[in-house]
Chains A and B, each alone.
Chain A
Amino acid sequence: MSEKEKLKNMDPNRNAHEKLSFSGISDLPDIVISTGHMTWNETGTWRYMKPRYRNLVSPCVVGCPNGQDVEAWIRLISEGRYDEALEKNMEESPIPGVCGRACFHPCEKSCNRAQFDRSVSINNLERFLSDHGTRKVPKVAAATAKSVAVVGSGPAGLACAYHLRRMGHAVTIYEAAKEPGGVLRYGIPDYRLPRDMLAEEIDVLKKMGVEIQCGVRVGTDVTWKDMERFDRVFLGTGVHVSRALGISGEDAQGVMSGLNLLKKVASGEDVELGERVLVIGGGNTAIDAARTAMRLDAKVTILYRRSREEMPAHDDEVTAAEAEGVVFQMLAAPSKVVTENNRVRALECVKVKLGQPDESGRRRPIVIEGSNFTVPCDTVVTAVGELADFSFLPDGLKVENGAIVVDDSLKTSNERYFAGGDVVEQPHTIVNALAAGKRAAIGIDCSLRGGSFEEALANITLATGPALSMRQYLAYREHKKIEEKVPVVNEICEYETLNMDYFEQSERVRKAVVGLTERMQTMPASAPNRFKEVELGLTEEQAAKAADRCFHCGRCIECDNCYIFCPDASVMPKTDEFGYAIDDYHCKGCGVCVHECPRNAMEMVRE
């Protein structure tokens, strides 16, 4: 047999190190081919750097003050696993249905996609999972023999109670109002936040064994002394005193606060507004009061002393109000309530121009002398800010600038008392209240167990913080390590590190709203459903589309790119578990897999 023939029939197990010798051209193969198998050539020895899988923190997760693992539940939604998505969400919050409707969703601002086209519709997806997932009552740890009183059942109180209960502590909520929920129940109107939905979410807490005592005002109905039977007390009492206008005639009949109006409507009381309603202010209370008044058949004008840009109310809300027919009178301030027989007749106003920015960063309104004008009206609704009433607080609790003073663990000057939500110095939003409830629960748990809050923080702070992970805390407090599918590096995944070759621009998914005509038809007081929810949830199809737009920043989703691109067949999908295995014997460390990872879930490390 010639050497050429030998080569053709060669035993593939022959080691190519053994030399063949060819007599000449008749003997040589036509192509350059090794003279035996090459399995001895483990190209992994050429490598000096090695790829590895590691997850980062998606920016939405830290963009959420409450540290929602947004990316994780979006992925579950896109896999159609709605129950698990809801469960994932509820690892950090008891009220996904509330947040999916009323949260101002700062997460969407930090969404990397916002730098590409428009952010993922995270808020809508949160509502979707709360609408489509089956609520499961979270696990409650074994009883700890410690008890905590939570004063106030707004989002701060609910979150604090929820998390403490999960840790096994006995929790009692005291709520002055008839029903729990705080602003969620008596402030934000039904057409934005349906009450039965809220009740359903609060029901979960009850099922977990949280005791809720409504109609009990602490400091009045029960004393602070009574509170001593609890190991710790959390104050989540919010801010409920409407700031006065400070103009004459303010006490006349027909002047009422926005909070009061909303509360009355939410309590089912009749309110007589008359035909023309003037709402003063530019915040959420003003907008909610105005849209509520529209639904009570009034003609509504909002008077605001700055311009639309400076309005603290959420932009979507302002737009909705405009659409519903609320008139905006910008750059005007009230100067006097004109009365007749101690009843409102009109409001005298002055025109205002904007000067240099003040300490809030907004331009300061300056009154234009002699620009007075009068607006006739039947009701004036004031909504120029809320203040806390601290007269009920136990003695000696330190208060500064209208807020209870707290440390990093939200402990007050009295170490048995913790406080959070609107009652401390923080942005007045639902999600910040939730985050405070969580932080206080951790602070309280640490103090009850004599553990170090700082050490806990170091273990559970998401990337740069300040958002904390309750999922991680629950493991940490039991000295457990979470076995992540992919090891996590606690850093934010930045936009620049994504491989944009793999993403196409796409339209942001919008939720549907009840059409204006239908909305307006429901508005006359005679209409049966005048406070019907305005925004509709996403359909399954829309949700899939919205979820599909997620980049999954810094998280491996088994997209197979590394597997496809590896030129050495050294990246192989694991058959029995998540992810891929890298064949160290043959990976040359070229880094193609890392480069082609669309979402920066891989990196090269020196060996």
Chain B
Amino acid sequence: MGNHAVSWGVLRSRAQVIAAYPITPQTQIVEELSEMCADGDLDATFIKVESEHSAMACCIGAAQAGARTFTATSAQGLALMHELLHWASGARLPIVMTDVNRAMAPGWSIWADQLDSLAQRDTGWMQMYCESNQEVFDLTVCSYKIAEQLDLPIMVVYDAFLLSHTSEVVDITDQGPIDDFLPPRQAELKLDPGKPYAFGSLVMPEYYYEMRYKLQEAMERAGGVIDSVLEEWAERFGRKYGQVEGYKLDDADIVLVTSGTTTSTTKYMVNQYRERGEKVGILKMRTLRPFPVERVRKELAGRKRVLVIDKNMSPGLGGVWAQELRAATAHIPDVPPIQCYIAGLGGRDIRPETVRDVIEHGKTQESLEKEYHWIQLKN
């Protein structure tokens, strides 16, 4: 299951402090980790806490003291962490967190949709979305390397149940090679009773501005770091990933933009269209932050249609991925209007027919008539 893939990824990464509060559909991740700790397979301190807020607080404290840390959550749990997400990035702590995408309540839902993580867009965390359980394992390990090179926290995100509770064959890379890939964390400045510095204290307007500059500057470097870490991973283990990935994209007239497991269903439909000779392809988004601006500009230019399937809804404007793509490509000549399709909220299945409807509808849309479209809405 996707959840087990995370636990193994964290085990292989030799996390030292794990703090978490149970929430479906994440719970299995930390359950398994607590067993790994109890059995002595993982030499980590497992801290049971009374809320997600505390879980993040523990990770912050431990990371500040130089430890490699991990936590996992979903939906309301992630929302409860919000305040501390800002703290983690502002304090430049390379915390790795899994967010299993789950719809926000109410209505109470435990099923997949992306609003929980997308709503944390501005917290200074990097975010990577996964399509398969192998990606979940691989990106968990890579995340530590990425985060620690940048001193920035990172979220590994994937869909509730579609991955979290679905079994797939996952290649769990051996410990030795992973140790070579991911050396222990070396924190330059850390909590140390011998050197009693204070962290995160008051910064006057005199320097706050510059501190934020430095945070953004790290984000600007992040794209390069992600690329190089993923490349190194591919070289060592043969599994290649990118910040964006294309599927039958090169000659595609109609580009579907997807993220997470929606991509797989879309691939199936794309194959059917290709058989009929229609030039349909996919741009799969992996990173929300840093947002791969140059990449998407390049990939979307010269297409006939760009159809974004957004498994989320930002009330008042529409799908978040579409907004981000529009912002990134605004005034770029040759990029067609970016059509936004809201689909799959609260765990509603995105079926091949859903994708087909998106494509067929998209074909008819020359210009941007609507900010977003509902698809297969029950009228």
Which residue numbers of A lie inside 8 Å of B, CB to CB? Answer: 8, 12, 16, 22, 24-25, 28-34, 36-39, 41
- The CA-CA distance from A492 to B188 in the complex, in Å, is 53
Instruction: From B199-207, B272-280, B320-328, give the one contacting chain A.
Output: B199-207
Whether A12 contacts B207 in the complex (CB less than 8 A), given A31-B189, A32-B201, comes out as no
Cα–Cα, bound, A38→B194 (Å): 11
Q: Which residue of A lies closest to B215 (CB)?
A: A30
**What distance in Å separates the Cβ of A2 from its nearest Cβ neighbour in chain B?**
14
Knowing A28-B214, A30-B92, A32-B91 touch, does A8 contact B188 (C-beta < 8 A)?
yes
Q: Which of B198, B214, B217 has the most CB of A within 10 A?
A: B198
Expressed in whole angstroms, the Cα–Cα distance for A460 and B229 within the complex equals 74
Chain B 74-109 interface 0/1 with A at a Cβ cutoff of 8 Å (1 = within): 000000000000000011100000000000000000
CA distance A29 to B198 in the complex (A): 13
How many chain B residues touch A (Cβ–Cβ < 8 Å)?
22
CB distance from A521 to the nearest CB of B (A): 49
Q: Does B195 contact A (CB under 8 A)?
A: yes
A28 to B198 alpha-carbon distance, docked (Å): 16
CA–CA, A8 and B190, complex, Å: 11
Assess whether A31 is in contact with B199, with CB atoms less than 8 Å apart. Answer: yes
Interface check B235, CB cutoff 8 A? no
Tell me the minimal C-beta distance from A566 to chain B in angstroms: 13
CB neighbours (8 Å) of B151 from chain A are: 30-31
Tell me how many residue pairs across A and B have CB atoms closer than 8 Å. Answer: 54
Q: How far is the CB of A564 from chain B (nearest CB, A)?
A: 11
Q: Evaluate contact between A25 and B196: CB separation under 8 angstroms.
A: no
Are the CB atoms of A28 and B197 closer together than 8 Å? no
Which residue of the partner chain A has the closest CB to B199? A33
Question: Which residues of B sit under 8 angstroms from A28, Cβ to Cβ?
Answer: 207, 210-211, 214
Known: A8-B188, A12-B194, A28-B214. A34 touches B92 (CB 8 A): no
Interface string of B157-179 (1 = CB under 8 A from A): 00000000000000000000000
A5 to B194, alpha carbons, bound, how many Å? 19
| Contact indicator A33/B207 (Cβ below 8 Å) | no
The answer to whether B214 and A38 touch across the interface, beta carbons within 8 angstroms, is no
A-B contact pairs, 30 of them (CB 8 A): A8-B189, A12-B196, A12-B197, A16-B197, A16-B198, A22-B207, A22-B210, A25-B210, A25-B213, A28-B207, A29-B189, A30-B151, A30-B218, A31-B91, A31-B189, A32-B91, A32-B200, A32-B201, A33-B189, A33-B197, A33-B198, A33-B199, A34-B198, A34-B199, A36-B197, A37-B196, A37-B197, A38-B196, A38-B197, A39-B196
Instruction: Give the CA-CA distance A29 to B188 in the complex, in Å.
Output: 11
CA distance A251 to B200 in the complex (A): 95
Among A12, A30, A31: residue with most chain B CB under 10 A: A31
Q: Is the CB of B198 within 8 A of A41?
A: yes
Chain A residues with CB under 8 Å of B213's CB are: 25
Chain B residue with minimal CB distance to A29?
B189
Q: Which residues of A contact B197 (CB under 8 A)?
A: 12, 16, 33-34, 36-38
Q: Knowing A28-B207, A32-B201, A32-B203 are in contact, say whether A12-B214 is a contact too (CB < 8 A).
A: no
CA–CA, A22 and B211, complex, Å: 12
* A36: B residues at CB distance < 8 A: 197
> How many Å lie between the Cα of A25 and that of B214 in the bound state?
7
Q: Chain B: which residue is nearest A569 at the CB level?
A: B193
Q: For A33, what are the chain B residues with a Cβ–Cβ distance below 8 Å?
A: 189, 197-199
Q: Contact at B214–A37, with CB atoms within 8 Å?
A: no
What is the bound-complex CA distance between A41 and B200, given in angstroms?
A: 15
In the A-B complex, the 8 residue pairs with the closest CB atoms: A34-B198, A12-B195, A38-B198, A31-B92, A34-B197, A37-B196, A25-B210, A38-B196
A16, A30, A34: the one contacting B214 at CB < 8 Å is A30
| Cβ-defined contact, A24 with B210, below 8 A | yes
For residue A41, which residues in chain B have a CB less than 8 angstroms away from its CB?
198
Contacts of B200 in A (CB 8 A): 31-32
Chain A CB count within 10 A is highest, among B197, B201, B214, for: B197
CB of A37 within 8 A of CB of B195, answer yes
Residues of A within 8 A of B218 (CB): 30
With CB as the reference atom, state the residue of chain A lying closest to B150: A30
Q: Smallest CB-CB separation from B92: which chain A residue?
A: A31
Smallest CB gap from A41: residue in B = B198
* Secondary structure class of chain B's binding surface, majority of residues: loop
Cβ-defined partner of A34 (8 Å) among B188, B201, B207, B210: B201
CA distance in complex: A38, B91 (Å)? 18
A4 → chain B closest CB, angstroms: 11
Residues from chain A with a CB closer than 8 A to the CB of B91 are 31-32
Give A32 to B211 CA distance when docked, in angstroms: 8
User: Which residues of chain A are within 8 angstroms of B199 by Cβ–Cβ distance?
Assistant: 31-34
Q: Which residue in chain B gives the minimum CB-CB distance to A22?
A: B207
CB of A476 to closest CB in B, whole Å: 46
Q: How far is the CB of A105 from chain B (nearest CB, A)?
A: 37
Residues of chain B contacted by A37 (CB below 8 angstroms): 195-197
Could you give, for residues 333-374 of chain B, a 1 whenever the CB lies within 8 Å of some chain A CB and a 0 otherwise? 000000000000000000000000000000000000000000
Query: Which parts of B199-240 form the interface with A (CB within 8 Å)?
Result: 199-201, 203, 207, 210-211, 213-214, 217-218
A28 to B206, CA, bound (A): 12
Return the chain A residue nearest B200 by Cβ.
A32
User: Of B195, B196, B210, which is in contact with the most chain A CB atoms at under 10 Å from its CB?
Assistant: B196
B214, chain A: closest CB distance, angstroms: 6
Once the chains are docked, how many angstroms separate the CA of A41 from the CA of B194? Answer: 15
Which chain A residue lies CB-closest to B187?
Answer: A31
Chain B contacts for A31, CB-based, 8 A:
91-92, 151, 189, 199-200
A8 to B213, CA, bound (A): 21
Roughly how many angstroms separate A22 CA and B206 CA in the complex, as a whole number? 10
Q: Can you name the residue of chain B whose Cβ is closest to the Cβ of A35?
A: B197
4 more contacts with CB within 8 A, not counting A31-B189, A41-B198, are: A31-B92, A31-B200, A33-B198, A34-B199
Complex alpha-carbon distance, A407 and B211, angstroms:
81
| Assembly CA distance A164 to B103 (angstroms) | 76
For the complex formed, measure the closest distance between the CB of A40 and the CB atoms of chain B, giving whole angstroms.
10
CA–CA, A37 to B196, complex, Å?
Answer: 5
A461 to chain B, nearest CB (A): 41
CB distance from B91 to the nearest CB of A (A): 6
Contacts of B203 in A (CB 8 A): 32
Chain A neighbourhood of B210, CB < 8 A: 22, 24-25, 28
Which residues from chain B contact A30 at a C-beta distance below 8 Å?
Answer: 92, 151, 214, 218
Query: Which residue on chain B has the smallest CB distance to residue A38?
Result: B198
A214 to B356, CA, bound (A): 107
Shortest distance from the beta carbon of B46 to any chain A beta carbon, whole Å: 15
- Residue with the greatest number of chain B CB neighbours at <10 A, chosen from A22, A38, A41: A38
A602 to chain B, nearest CB (A): 20
- Name the residue in B194, B201, B217 with the highest tally of chain A Cβ atoms < 10 Å from its Cβ: B201
Assembled-state Cα–Cα distance A30/B90 (Å): 9
Q: Which residue of A lies closest to B188 (CB)?
A: A8
Give the complex CA separation of A37 and B195 in angstroms.
Answer: 6
- Please name all residues of chain B whose beta carbon is closer than 8 Å to the beta carbon of A39 when the two chains form the complex: 196
Specify which chain B residues have a CB less than 8 angstroms from the CB of A38 in the assembled complex: 196-198
Chain A residue contacts of B214, Cβ below 8 A = 25, 28, 30
Residue of B nearest to A11 (CB): B195
Give the CA-CA distance A32 to B217 in the complex, in Å.
Answer: 16
Contacts of B92 in A (CB 8 A): 30-31
Residues of A within 8 A of B211 (CB): 28, 32
The answer for the CA separation of A38 and B191 in the assembled complex, in Å, is: 12
Q: What is the bound-complex CA distance between A38 and B199, given in angstroms?
A: 10
Closest residue of A by beta carbon distance from B193? A569
Residues of B within 8 A of A29 (CB): 189
When chains A and B are docked, how far (Å) is the Cα of A12 from the Cα of B207? 22
Query: In whole angstroms, what is the CA distance A68 to B197 when docked?
Result: 52
Q: In the complex, what residues of A have CB within 8 A of residue B201's CB? A: 32, 34
Closest to A567 in B: B61
Nearest chain B CB to A77's CB is how many angstroms away? 30
- Alpha-carbon separation in the docked complex, A25 to B218 (Å): 12
* A16 contact set on B, CB distance < 8 A: 197-198
Q: Considering the chains assembled together, what is the distance between the CA atoms of A74 and B218 in angstroms?
A: 60
Most chain B beta-carbon neighbours within 10 Å: one of A12, A30, A37, A38:
A30
Q: Which A residue's beta carbon lies closest to that of B64?
A: A31
